[in-house]
Amino acid sequence: MTELNTILKQMADDIPGVVAMGVVGMDGLALAHHSTSSEFDIEVASAQFALVMKLVQKTSDHLRDSEVEDNLVTTKKSYMLTRFLGDGSYYIGIAASKEHANLGNMRLIARNYADTLWEAIPKRKK
């Protein structure tokens, strides 16, 4: 997973205020992650946001809406942005400080790196 970790580090360098980010399977397990905070538990966040992403997709399907681009959760102090990768079996999750991060920049970086992250994920042979 070294390549994924390198890509995540590059992304973090482009996002002021980043707290943590990870590439996560829909099973809730992080394949790779990068964090600037020892207080942020990436394993817990990965598992919880996998459930959120499943619900977002199910709701979108139920509404007969188009493909989900990204999902945003905001709190008083932070942004948490998630975006499906590739065929939707993985997602990128980014948590950043609202005080320092720019939401438009977060969305742009996530979109720009999505294909690169997808290509770096080891694929199972069928």
Q: How many domains does the chain have?
A: 1
The per-residue pLDDT for 103 is 94
Q: What is the pLDDT of residue 5?
A: 93
CB 72 within 8 A of CB 81: yes
Domain of residue 68, CATH code: 3.30.450.30
Q: For residue 99, is it within any domain? A: yes
Do residues 92 and 22 lie in contact, with contact meaning Cβ atoms separated by under 8 Å? yes
Distance (Å) of CA 95 to CA 21, 41, 63, 123: 6, 11, 27, 26
Q: Note the pLDDT of residue 59.
A: 84
39 in a structural domain = yes
DSSP for 84-122, written as a single string: EETTTTEEEEEEEETTT--HHHHHHHHHHHHHHHHHHSP
In a domain, 86, yes or no: yes
125 lies in a domain? no
**Residue 112 domain boundaries:** 2-120
Q: Is residue 56 in some structural domain?
A: yes
Following CA atoms 42, 48, 49, 52 in sequence, which dihedral angle do they give, to the nearest 10 degrees?
180
**Domain-located, residue 126:** no
Whole-angstrom Cα Rg for the chain: 14
Q: What is the pLDDT of residue 62?
A: 82
The three-class DSSP label of residue 74 is: strand
Per-residue pLDDT of the chain (126 residues; tens, 9 = 90+): 589 999 999 999 999 999 999 999 999 999 999 988 888 888 888 889 899 988 888 888 888 777 788 899 999 999 999 999 999 999 999 999 999 999 999 999 999 999 999 999 988 655
* 111 domain-assigned: yes
Q: Is residue 60 part of a domain?
A: yes
